[in-house]
Structure 1
Amino acid sequence: MSDCCKSGFAWGGKPEGSETKIAGINSYVTGTSKKAAILIVHDIFGWTFTNTRVIADHFAKEADATVYLADFFGGEVITVDMMTNPKKQAAFDVAAFLQRNGKEPRWPEIKGVAEALKKEYPKVGAMGYCYGGWAVFRLGAGTGLVDVISTAHPSMLEKSEIDAVKVPVQILAPENDERYLPELKEYSNKVIPTLGVPYEYVYFPGVNHGFAIRGDQSNKLQKESLERAKNSASKFFAQFLHD
């Protein structure tokens, strides 16, 4: 994780869902579908981030799913003012954060929530933003817990996790990304088409890491790109959750 993971823009808006618990973990939930669920694995700003909750509301309506945004940081909240506060960004201890919230500490919780959802819903999708990118690939690696995955500008994603995917997968990739580097983009586009799963790679020129969840809505290109990313993911989930 780097500075690009800590910067961006808060959108405002009023989420329409409610708070509950799933597998013992606090979660925002929105939507009323009994047939399909989507689990969002959040970025560094966590499950309380208004932007992510607003997107969850869109997915619920547009993909006809009940959407869960669970807390995978154990109650730790990174406040949105860090996006525009260089002093707070500089003071943020990334190494310590990842020690608390890295793959091994958090994977059992992510898997546990997916297991709970799969018991309740016939079809389950998973959406990962930034930090959540690696997690949805793990969920899609033949676990039987999800039927489709999508990720926008994934962080911490490894080649072995790409190799293992066994469900339909979508990647929303900005042109400029310090975490999903050109080498890994190239690897994704070389390997995934050989795995026998439906694959959609959507490219967003001129925008940066984080655009799909923290893009500047006052900037025409960023606004159009984040809206296209949301629409692309909604359509992908709708296709594979309702066949």
Structure 2
Amino acid sequence: MSCPDCTTGDILVGTPKGATKDDGSYLAAAPDGSDSKRAVVLLTDIFGLGLDNPKIIADYLSEQLKCDVWVPDLFKGKPPVRPDQLQMPQRAGEKIGALRWTKFIFTALTSLPSIISTRPSVGEKRIREFINKIKAEHKYDTIGAVGYCYGGIACVRLAVTDIIDTVVVCHPGRFSLKLIDQLVIPVAWVCAEDDFGFPTTKRKKAEEILAERAKDDKRALAYEFQDYKGTTHGFACRPNGQIPEIKEAFEKSLEQIVSWFNKHI
């Protein structure tokens, strides 16, 4: 939780079609007759599987990519923020008033034990264990991961290893730019216009680092950055469909994710 926008958003319309496994994870299985040799792991924001949003997104990705999409239970059934604490999203450029800051601070304080127990280093261990498990059980040839907010941080940390083949980072929380120079797999970035967790200055610096690496054939990586006008942190997983530009940005972000995975897994 890096800013008030971590607790903003809306609930997607739809009913999950996949299955919840014994470990609490969610599987949107590949459509019948589809190639099951590749898979995607969707890493959630701090609402975890308390919202149906990641399940609905996983169903969509599975249908489009014709592959299994897994959503691990990163918080062991106890996500730091509950759905009833969800606030409506704001458009880019709007000021965060005292009331929102107060609500955010209160939510952060009451969620502090859970936040500490699920800090990125802890979450990363759980994610690695989950990926190794599905690799062993399903013998996938290639695996990609897409992460939102908290899950976006996790994707950056995963991308400095070769445990998977590629990642898509959606409006991530705070992470060290030192990791950008350590990336070893292709990375796509879904960027909000107004984002406390990944502000424009940091986003530009990350791109500069990757552009500089591209000049060296031995260190060059495939990458892309797409910015979505009018959006704030969380738009790609908790969009308010009543705001036209937010709805369009959400839909375009899904297209970007599908396109990227079709190229890299």
Check whether TM > 0.5.
Answer: yes
Deviation string for 1:113-158 (max 9, x for gaps)? Answer: 12223332110001110001121122121x3211110011001222
Alpha-carbon distance between aligned partners in 1 of 2:186 and 2:65, rounded to the nearest angstrom? 15
Q: Is the 8 A contact 2:40 2:70 kept in 1?
A: yes
1:29 corresponds, among 27, 30, 37, to: 27
Q: Which has the larger radius of gyration?
A: 2
Instruction: Tell whether the 8 Å contact from 1:59 to 1:67 is kept in structure 2 after alignment.
Output: yes
Say whether residues 1:82 and 2:85 are aligned partners.
yes
Using the aligned pairs only, state the percent identity.
Answer: 25
Aligned to 1:180: 198
2:172 paired with 1:171: no
Indicate which of 90, 107, 123 corresponds to 2:124. Answer: 107
Shift of 1:89: 4.4
After TM superposition, give the deviation of residue 90 of structure 1 in Å.
Answer: 4.7
Q: For the structure 1 residues 19 and 88, does the alpha-carbon distance in structure 2 shift closer, same or farther, using more than 3 Å as the test?
A: farther
Is 1:41 equivalent to 2:60 in the alignment? no
Distance 1:130 1:202 in 2: 16
| Structure 1 position 18, deviation (Å) | 0.4
Residues 64 and 238, structure 1, Cα contact 8 Å, conserved in 2: no
CA distance in 2: counterparts of 1:197 and 1:237, whole angstroms: 15
Higher strand proportion = 1
Q: Give the secondary structure class of the aligned counterpart of 2:207.
A: helix
Which stretch of the first structure deviates more once superposed, 171-180 or 132-141?
132-141
Q: 2:15 is matched with which residue?
A: 14
Structure 2: stretches of 5+ with no match in the other structure: 89-99, 214-218
Give the structure 2 partner of residue 199 of structure 1: 223
1:232 matched to 2:256: yes
8 Å contact 1:134–1:158 — kept in the other structure? no
Partners of 2:17 and 2:233 in 1: CA distance: 27
Once superposed, what is the RMSD of the aligned Cα atoms?
Answer: 1.8
Letter in 2 for 1:79: R
CA distance in 2, matches of 1:88, 1:209: 17
Once the two structures are overlaid, the 10-residue window that deviates more, 8-17 or 76-85, is 76-85
Scaled by the length of structure 2, the TM-score of the pair is 0.84
Range with bigger deviation, 63-72 or 158-167: 158-167
Amino acid at match of 1:155: G
Q: Is the 8 A contact 1:118 1:146 kept in 2?
A: no
For normalisation by structure 1, the TM-score amounts to: 0.91
Shift of 1:12: 2.8
Deviation at 1:97, TM superposition (A): 3.3
Q: Which residue of 1 aligns with 2:148?
A: 129
Q: C-alpha distance in 1, partners of 2:27/2:228?
A: 29
Letter of the 2:20 counterpart: E
Give yes or no for contact 2:38–2:68 (8 Å, CA) kept in 1: yes
- For 1:137 and 1:90, the matched residues in 2 are separated by 26
**How many angstroms apart in 2 are the aligned matches of 1:134 and 1:162?**
12
Question: In the alignment, which residue of structure 1 is the partner of 2:65?
Answer: 63
